[in-house]
Amino acid sequence: MRRIDWQVYARNDRYYIRQFEEETNLQALVALDTSGSMRFGLSTVSKFEYARRAAACLARLLLHQRDAVGAAVLHDSSPAFVPARQNASHLQSILVALQNATPSEGGSLPTQIRSCIPRMRRRGMFILFSDCFGDIDELATALKVVRARGHDVTVFQVLAPEEIRFDFRHWSSFQSLESAQRLNLDPASVRDGYLKQLRTFLDRLEEAITGIGGDYVRTTTEHDLAETLGFYLRGRAANGHVGGNVTDRMVTL
């Protein structure tokens, strides 16, 4: 009887049992990968630009819900970190941090992820925007650590359409964006092998992320950002995500 919420009964003439009452605000950290590979973009905006915009939109979304949002620019030499705040004016700080972020030559994404863990004092969400190129195992280990701290992990893998299709027809010189490596070859002759490699990587990546209980969203820079985020949000709402202490309801954009 003591659990019955009489105020609700008085209003609705229905009995509701209050099990517990707690703070509803979410704490989220949007992390932006600034590795060199994120600079790639031929027919569309670069992956870095696309990811940065997605991170900004998501941050705004969370702030609008009175959730606390912080931002992390993952950079080897000059990382940036904006602690989570709840007030709407905090968005400006986040946007400034994102605006000032620049892609680097290289970097170890797993290491950079680990460096964010101490800054997440309360359980919340860790939302990563990256192409995730690199060692899957190391990345998965780093994300597992994040998850083990009670955070929800969401990985937005941003790829370019050229990376997915590899429809190059002429002899080309592929210059690495992260090193001095250069490959001169006939793209059509290696397409089959390249796609197999990429497909295997993506499958392993998805399996690794979902295996630790995280959310995995893959998109390309040619897709509309609103649809991409909307897809993600509907997915979370459909799942009735109640894991941890995260509110399961977000106001629709």
Partner 1 sequence: MSFFLSSVFLAALPLAVAPLLLHFFDRRRNVVIEWGAMQFLQEAATRRTSARRLQQWLLLLLRILAIAALVTALARPLLPGQWLGATDRRETIFVLDNSLSTLRQAGDVSLFDDMIAQAEQAIEDLPSGDTVRILIASPYPVWITPASVRVDIGSRPDLRDQLRALRPTHGTSDLLASLLKVVQSDIEDETLMERRIILMTDGQGADWNTSDEAGWQRFRDVLAEVHVPTRVDIVKPDATVVSTTNIAVNGIRTSRSVVGVNQRFTVTAQVRNFSRDESAASSLDWSVGDESREQSNIPALDAGATYDAIWNHSFDRPGVFTLSCQVAADDDLQPDNTATVVVEVVERIPVLLVEGSTGFAEIQQDAYLVQAALGRVDGQDDQNWRAVFEPRTIPPRRLETIELDRFRVVVIPNLTDLSQEAVSRLSDFVSGGGGLWLALGPRTDVDRFNRYMFNDGDGLSPVSLDRIVDERRGPTNSTTINPFLKRHPATADLADDDKLDTGDVKVTRRMRFHTSAVSDDVSILLDLTNGEPLVVENYFGEGRVIVQGIPLRLQWSELAMSQAFVVMVHDWLSYLSEPGATRRNLQPGDPIAVHVGKTRLRDATLTTPAGEDITLTGEPVDDGIEFRTSRTILPGTYTLEFGLSGDGVPFHVARDPGESDLSALTATDRRFLSETAGLGREYTETETAGSNQRDPVWPLLLMLLIVIMVAELLLSGVIARNRFGTDPISDTTEQWAGAAPLFGNISATNESSSPDPLDEPLRTKEQVIESGQRRSDLVS
CB 96, min distance to partner 1, A: 26
Joined tokens for residue 36: 């060199």
Beta strands at 80-85 and 68-74: parallel, antiparallel or unpaired: antiparallel
CB 59, min distance to partner 1, A: 20
Question: Binders of partner 1 among 52-111, rule CB under 8 A?
Answer: 66
Joined tokens for residue 24: 């509803």
CB 126, min distance to partner 1, A: 18
Tell me the C-alpha distance between 142 and 155, whole Å. Answer: 12
Question: Binders of partner 1 among 130-159, rule CB under 8 A?
Answer: 131, 133-134, 159
Stretch of residues binding partner 1 (CB under 8 A), selected from 50-58, 119-127, 140-148, 211-219: 211-219
* Residue 163 near partner 1 by CB under 8 A: yes
Q: Which phi and psi (to 5°) does residue 124 adopt?
A: -165, -150
Question: Which is closer to partner 1, CB of 119 or CB of 165?
Answer: 165
Helix axes 136-148 and 109-116, enclosed angle (nearest 10): 10
Question: Which is closer to partner 1, CB of 7 or CB of 100?
Answer: 7
Question: Which is closer to partner 1, CB of 117 or CB of 225?
Answer: 225
Tell me the C-alpha distance between 163 and 138, whole Å. Answer: 22
Joined tokens for residue 121: 């004092």
Question: Which is closer to partner 1, CB of 119 or CB of 207?
Answer: 207
